[in-house]
Structure 1
Amino acid sequence: MIYDIAWSRYRHAVQVFGGRKMYKVLSLIALGVATPAAAASQTVYDTSLYALNVGASPADPAYARTVDAGNGTVTYSTGARVSAPSAFDTWQQSDVGGLGVVGITKDFAHDGNGSLVFGGTNAGSKADLVYYLSSPELLDSFGGASYDWYRSSVSGTASYLVPSLRILLTNNGQFGSLIFEPIYQGTVVTDDQWTHSDYNFQSQVWNSNGKLTNPTGNYTNSLFDWAIANPNAVVVGFSTGSGSGWSNNFAGAVDNISWRFGEVNTSSFNFEVAGVPEPTQWALMIGGFGVVGAISRRRRRAVAAA
């Protein structure tokens, strides 16, 4: 159901942005070809994320839950999730519910003053950040991806669970994803430590909704195996997130997400909290301070000489 909703939201994004872009996207998916997007390396600030109501209490409809009338207990469902409005070429919250949270904060700062933080309190907690491509690419043109991830020692869920990185795909009209998790690469998870992971055709990945042709065993195939079994698969986006069935609480983070198609068409994203000048801005400011100081010194000398 989650992936059906995601596919519906992607189609809605195509319709919203309509016109030539709609024709381009539909043509790319129909013909199985893609026009490479311009290479991009950018900072994503907390202020650029949509103000999302994720449900502050059980009285809030956005707080995903179901009530067992038989014994009065409350369980946390995977439905009733909230997402930001559909958009292309920008990071946006997706499928946030059950007291799952996602945001750019200073809690686990990395490579700057912030990072993309995920949290949850129970098995129903879920939170993702998604990026839809306005120009889809064939899966076989995928050149690789990477991200940095962090798991806090306050987490009570299974020790191998950390935020995943997913390739979002269409395949013969169906929407699915290939999910990269460090545990299936043999990576040892160390709490309170940032770890870098690379996602390539040798990586062990899996699909959770059955919309892709399964090569053999779902958790034992490489991305290469999936690409061979699904020759018409087209990459329509990427996502990262945590939760959905993760018992107990979780706290962690992601930063420095990147991917490429071909050899040089690379996109990379660093997540930061707004309000702190970038290094280039610091350089300009320091240079400006130097100019002001020089002018001030010349004025003092001129006054003394008079």
Structure 2
Amino acid sequence: MKRSVALATGIALLSSVASAQTVVVTPAAPQGWGANSLSGVGAVGITTTQARGAGGGAGNGSLELTGTGSGDRTRFTIGTQAQGGFGLLNQLSTLSFDWYRSSSSTASAWHVPVFRILVADPGNAITYREIIWEYDYQFNSGNNTAPTDAWQNDVNLLAGNWYTNAALNAGTCSSLYGNNCLSYPDNWGFSSAAYVLGFSIGTGSGWSGSFQGFADDVAIGFGNGPVTRYDFETAAVPEPASLALLGTGMMMLLAMARRRV
């Protein structure tokens, strides 16, 4: 009986490691992510400037975004052309990331890394649409100055306000952006068939001055399915927790094998 329990425990521990959803994104293995710029200025890439790991632990990199001048729309994107995309928009249940603004930035005090969702909606007249999260959209008025020189961890984007460049019959959530500003999950004006084609982190647009910011630990999940965390590193780093579980599981299985000999 004890052997059966130990065997089951060892297998369960190994299975939990195998099903872990942290994906390490590196320049050599981008895992579907890529850089692009709609304005031709600015830069985005994985660097060691603000190195950290998944969950804010030890690591060797993070995503760095820099730019100078108005209209910069540099971004780092993951997308898919598969039918149904990553999943239905109305099933998006987890969406968060960590961000950091450097005090060296001279851009507007509210400017931090921007998060976008690209949506395809076969049940709507406007087939493709981008919805955008920015720090500034979270304030109707008052102090919207962003913290600097400190990571803002696990920022829950689904609890915030978003902007789209097409009116979607949504209620007003910001005096600055009127009916184009949306709150999740209030339908967002999409049909039930709308699905997610991609996600991106960028520098936004319509600003001036210089900007340096960072992002990491992007968490994405749909419905009751697993949550995938994307950890930006300059090189692959095994997760300490996963290594510990792997070691424990293997030791238990090895012990069982020795007893049978």
Identity of aligned residues (%): 32
Aligned to 1:304: none
2: CA distance between counterparts of 1:177 and 1:39? 30
Aligned to 2:24: 43
Q: What is the TM-score when the length of structure 1 is the normalising length? A: 0.60
1: CA distance between counterparts of 2:194 and 2:238? 39
Aligned to 1:12: none
1:102 aligned to 2:83?
no
Aligned to 1:261: 222
> Is the contact made by 1:227 and 1:233 (CA closer than 8 Å) also made in structure 2?
no
For structure 1, which runs of at least 5 residues remain unmatched after alignment?
1-37, 50-88, 288-306
Q: What is the TM-score when the length of structure 2 is the normalising length? A: 0.69
> Is the contact made by 2:52 and 2:61 (CA closer than 8 Å) also made in structure 1?
yes
> Is the contact made by 1:100 and 1:243 (CA closer than 8 Å) also made in structure 2?
no
Q: CA deviation at 1:195?
A: 0.4
> Is the contact made by 1:214 and 1:229 (CA closer than 8 Å) also made in structure 2?
no
Residue aligned with 1:257, SS:
strand
For structure 2, which runs of at least 5 residues remain unmatched after alignment?
1-18, 54-58, 172-177, 248-261
Q: How many residues align?
A: 205
2: CA distance between counterparts of 1:139 and 1:114? 30
Aligned to 2:162: 205
RMSD of aligned alpha carbons: 2.8
The amino acid that maps onto 1:250 is F
- After superposition, the C-alpha distances for 1:15-57 in whole angstroms (9 at most, x for unaligned) are xxxxxxxxxxxxxxxxxxxxxxx973210012235xxxxxxxx
Q: CA deviation at 1:102?
A: 0.4
The amino acid that maps onto 1:176 is R
1: CA distance between counterparts of 2:71 and 2:113? 15
- After superposition, the C-alpha distances for 1:64-117 in whole angstroms (9 at most, x for unaligned) are xxxxxxxxxxxxxxxxxxxxxxxxx61111225442100000112222111000
> Is the contact made by 2:216 and 2:231 (CA closer than 8 Å) also made in structure 1?
yes
Larger RCO: 1 or 2 (CA < 8 Å, sep 6+): 2
The amino acid that maps onto 2:27 is D
The amino acid that maps onto 1:213 is L
- After superposition, the C-alpha distances for 1:195-231 in whole angstroms (9 at most, x for unaligned) are 021022x4211113x2x63424335431223435543
Which has the larger Rg? 1
1:125 aligned to 2:83?
no
Counterparts in 2 of 1:214 and 1:164: CA distance versus 1, 3 Å: farther
Aligned to 2:33: 91
Residue among 153, 176, 199 paired with 2:129: 176
